[in-house]
Structure 1
Amino acid sequence: MSHQFSRRRLLGSLGGLLLAACRSHQSSPPPAPSPEASPTPAAGRRRSAQARRGPAGPSRELPIWIEPGLPASFASWAEAFTVSLAEALPPGWHSVRVDPPEQAGVRVRRARGSPGALTLAERTFVPVASHWNLVRGISSEALGGLLNGTILDWQALGSPEPLPVELVSLRSGGLQLARAAHEASDPQSCAQFLLTRPGGLAVVERAELEPAMRVLWLDGHDPLDLSADELAGAGLAERLVVEGSDALQDIIQEVAAQLPQQVLELTFTIAVAGDIILGRTVHRIMERSGDWAAPFRSVAPLLAGADLTVADLECALTSSFAPPDDPFTMRFMTLPQAVEGLLLAGIDAVSLANNHSMDFGAQGMRDTLATLQAHGIAHCGIGETLAEARRPALLDVAGTTIALLGYDGISAAWYGAGEDWPGTAPLDPELIAADVVAAAGLADVVIPFFHWGIEYTLLPTEEQRQIARAAIDAGATLVLGSHPHWLQGFEFYRGKPIFYSLGNFVFDQEWSPETKQGVILRLRFSGARLLTFSLEPVMIEDYHRPRPADDLERVVMLQRIRSSSLELLASADG
């Protein structure tokens, strides 16, 4: 490493430091040995060497103290700094580790709160709870109460049922909590604990999150969107800092400036909505009002705010046919103008692998694809041939390539594509495995979207579970599902989530509470790694328009999802 500062300035600084050390040595008696602690062998050897040298003159050593027990990420930065500093010393000088820190000219340690000393690196943390805990967020003050033991039950923070708090301390990848009744060795074991203990709470390093953890909002914000300075106010930021005598400040700063800059983790979000039909009653409402974006107006900000938004589109967008007059028709279409709603909601890609995208045959499919393509909306799961229907939609988000695949497990027997005819991609496990493997060679993240299951049920079939697991074994990052018209639970296989049904999203099934319920799934990624996810319930009203659920509706929906998920968890073997 090349050091650009002058040797003269460094010698002047070191000389000032040695002079101060000499004066301190002459005016202060040597410290008495502590009866409470024995020096380490290395420290003992250094002291013996110093004793042998006697009063021959000041040592040409720069004493450095590094805080013991630094986490691995901080330890590597501390080592890089001390090596760089040692390389910058003039001939005849070398650095030496000392203890206690008061004897050091340079100290490298952890610090909390706002930055003061020179910062080499930082770690940020977020509070995480179980997915089965229905408390969405807390205040910074409440977090302090949870950690210091003044808040003992989640019900005090809005849980609809009594739920004792269980603190989890992490030996690595998170904070060690003094009052914790449980200890996890790492974030992976902490995540497994949270799946079985709904009252669990841990504070995990942001870069070490696991999908089986649910991040708690803090003071009304997703902490993953907050800066280190903002998190520091809640005690959720930790810095590795360098301190030194006034004489060495310039040199410390110049050496630190030549180290590689810490690469801060960049994250992005994918929002996923369930089944969207823009035909039948929904079409008539849009046509009558002249507002082709009407279904999405209440939820557009929730969807458009994501970096990528995906949904299942269950209708044709075509002007080649007249919309059916039958108010109970099971053939779904609307006019191409309805793409305005998809654009308002920021929908970037749709799966068309379902039992309604081919309701108006090859011409309806071609019209739909032409409309989507003209407005920059990608698609998957359908095509002029089977090969085309199996082809993934490839999307770039923050430098990460996402492959979206779609498969029809309901109507492929009559709507499925073939070697030389159009249609949907069938839900065939062998095809899926081959497609996932191929997509993994093109993309960083592979997401298959399955249209499957039994309508109006709370649980997937065992066959669905096996298909989903086979997709993950082949390399899928996660699995999405739709079609049952009810919300269903999710489970984890090899640490990866499987969402069996996201419920209806834009639909006209007003005849039951369950068919009016849906969720927006929000996935948070760092590069190819899924960090965490959340579910944002919506309620469909007036036969066509989803809106954010109110507090009571939210609890009811999440309790249904939890009930289904816990049944899956109880029977899981992966």
Structure 2
Amino acid sequence: MCGRGIDQVLAHPCSPEIYERHVRTAETYVLLAEQANGPIPQRNGSSYVWGAALGQLERMQPDARIINLETAVTRSNDRANKGINYRMSPENAECLAAAKIDCCVLANNHVLDWGRAGLIETLTILQKLNVKATGAGRTDLEARAPAVLNLANARLLIFSFGSISSGIPFEWAATSDAPGVNLLPDLCEASALEVADQVMALRRPGDLIVVSIHWGSNWGYHIPEEQTIFARALIDKAGVSIVHGHSSHHPRAIEIYRDRLILYGCGDFLNDYEGIRGYERYRDDLASMYFADLNPASGNLHALKLVPLQIKNFRLSNPSWRDIEWIQQTLDGDCQRFGTRVILDSERQLVVIGPGART
């Protein structure tokens, strides 16, 4: 989430007025962060927010860089009356190019925070930046269409869906004549089969498939059984390689099912929550980069490594060894329900190991 407070410390911020119950200016979130962690530089360049993540991307050289962009990119003032509205300016969206983001999934509960005009501007800016978008569109057909990335050894199709369980208003659904998101009304068996049919209608032999879903609550480690059934059905019925789940502000359990990857909640990678009290036990200041290595021939997961980072001064930095151990122990404990283990390697990375593999 690069909007609100983060937008204010970049070079070309939107007007700071916001319409939350207790906060009327995005500058308040800058002040809270500074009270927690010290002064934040102002009018920063486009690479500022990524900090230590840029070095990790350079080291790992992933074939595809995919994020859930949970903010509108717009100067629209047509705010949705929903309490919290995120936006970043079109000029500050250059930060996406600075990190060489390939694809933004947009089916989430903030992309229409500033109305349909804000969504259309978001889509336009992403296109100008040569960043693929999926999960929202000017029509339902555009919202459903996957992003297609042509990799060296395969074609990668990325589908994006937003579940109403994450707080997406039903009226945000794209229609034949109205912009909106690719909405999942529920996570029942029929919906899973419908998603699988959409995938199968477009996939070719040799394609790799990612289904990205914005679902569930923001806090806590509970994973509803319906999410597990839904994710496994996508693997069983459509051969999906990765189910990329998000909405929780901190990481949730990871499952490796039939050699395919299910991420139930990746946690926030960037946010402006520094200094906000109430959920400290979940350590939402600790973020992770997920590097999944897929076998292009089979679509199976070959390896998964997580690189821990820390959000500080609205920027990603290297966490302490103690914080890395906390992430490892918390995730390892949470993942054991699926027979998955998370261990530390010598490079301060987290290695995820599936059931039956040797540790």
Seen in structure 2, the aligned counterparts of structure 1 residues 316 and 443 have a Cα distance that, compared at 3 Å, is farther
Aligned to 2:65: 309
Deviations 1:235-281, CA, capped at 9 Å, x for gaps? xxxxxxxxxxxxxxxxxxxxxxxxxxxxxxxxxxxxxxxxxx12111
Seen in structure 2, the aligned counterparts of structure 1 residues 522 and 452 have a Cα distance that, compared at 3 Å, is same
Classify the secondary structure of the residue corresponding to 1:356. coil
Q: How does 1:157-556 map to 2 (within 5 A)?
A: 277-286=1-10, 287=13, 288-303=42-57, 305-321=61-77, 330-409=84-163, 410=166, 411=168, 413-427=170-184, 428-441=191-204, 444-473=207-236, 474-510=238-274, 511=276, 512=280, 514-528=283-297, 529=299, 530-542=301-313, 544-556=314-326
Where do 4+ consecutive residues of structure 1 move more than 4 Å? none
CA contact (8 A) 2:46 2:98 kept: no
Instruction: Note the aligned Cα RMSD (angstroms).
Output: 2.4
Seen in structure 2, the aligned counterparts of structure 1 residues 385 and 488 have a Cα distance that, compared at 3 Å, is same
Seen in structure 2, the aligned counterparts of structure 1 residues 322 and 447 have a Cα distance that, compared at 3 Å, is same
CA contact (8 A) 2:79 2:113 kept: no
Deviations 1:425-460, CA, capped at 9 Å, x for gaps? 123424311122123237610000111122211132
Classify the secondary structure of the residue corresponding to 2:141. helix
CA contact (8 A) 1:386 1:418 kept: yes
CA contact (8 A) 1:280 1:329 kept: no
CA contact (8 A) 2:78 2:114 kept: no
Runs of 5+ consecutive residues of structure 1 not aligned to the other structure: 1-276
Aligned to 2:349: none
Cα distance, 1:293 vs structure 2: 3.2
Q: TM-score, normalised by structure 2?
A: 0.76
Classify the secondary structure of the residue corresponding to 1:295. helix
Partner letter of residue 500 of structure 1?
A: Y
Seen in structure 2, the aligned counterparts of structure 1 residues 352 and 521 have a Cα distance that, compared at 3 Å, is same
% same residue = 27
CA contact (8 A) 2:94 2:129 kept: no
Cα distance, 1:296 vs structure 2: 1.3
Q: How does 1:16-35 map to 2 (within 5 A)?
A: none
Separation in 1 of the partners of 2:218 and 2:119? 24
Classify the secondary structure of the residue corresponding to 1:338. coil
Q: TM-score, normalised by structure 1?
A: 0.48
Deviations 1:170-221, CA, capped at 9 Å, x for gaps? xxxxxxxxxxxxxxxxxxxxxxxxxxxxxxxxxxxxxxxxxxxxxxxxxxxx
Seen in structure 2, the aligned counterparts of structure 1 residues 418 and 429 have a Cα distance that, compared at 3 Å, is farther
Separation in 1 of the partners of 2:202 and 2:332? 32
Seen in structure 2, the aligned counterparts of structure 1 residues 306 and 333 have a Cα distance that, compared at 3 Å, is same
Separation in 1 of the partners of 2:193 and 2:113? 26
Larger helix percent: 1
Q: Does 1:567 align with 2:324?
A: no
Aligned to 1:260: none
Cα distance, 1:567 vs structure 2: 2.1
CA contact (8 A) 1:537 1:554 kept: yes
Cα distance, 1:338 vs structure 2: 1.8
Runs of 5+ consecutive residues of structure 2 not aligned to the other structure: 14-41, 185-190, 341-353
CA contact (8 A) 2:245 2:266 kept: yes
Classify the secondary structure of the residue corresponding to 1:432. helix
CA contact (8 A) 1:401 1:444 kept: yes
Cα distance, 1:292 vs structure 2: 3.6
CA contact (8 A) 1:300 1:346 kept: no
Cα distance, 1:478 vs structure 2: 1.7
